[in-house]
Amino acid sequence: MIMRIFQVTAKEGKEEEFGDFFHNTAIPLMRGTEGIVQVLPGAARADSPREFSFVMIWKNLASLKAFVGDDYQSAHVDPSEAELVESRSIKHYDFVE
């Protein structure tokens, strides 16, 4: 299994708008995605109000590539959230049980 950690920093002043997208669009989308075994969303905290993350456990690399394409090492952002995002990062690991 593949562990994918996706971190996003919302633009200053866009925290609330991105938070709405995160809770109402991104989380349901990822929870309903075929090939994902588990989704652990991390919402912003008071001491880091612009930072959000997802830890996703994918069944295998083929499942991940089916969702994001062959360029799975890049952090893809939905076009509807692009103007809300200052930066993003993505890391992949082999999941250990």
In the chain, what are the domain boundaries? 2-94
Distance between CA atoms of residues 42 and 33, nearest Å:
18
- Supply the pLDDT for residue 43: 94
Single-letter residue type at 10: A
CATH code at 2-94: 3.30.70.100
Distance between CA atoms of residues 94 and 97, nearest Å:
10
For residue range 16-30, list pLDDT tens digits in order: 999 999 999 999 999
Q: What is the pTM assigned to this prediction?
A: 0.89
Single-letter residue type at 75: A
Q: Confidence class of residue 14 from pLDDT cuts 50, 70 and 90?
A: very high
For residue range 39-94, list pLDDT tens digits in order: 999 999 999 999 999 999 999 999 999 998 899 998 877 787 889 999 999 999 99
Alpha carbons within 13 A on the beta-carbon side of 32: 6
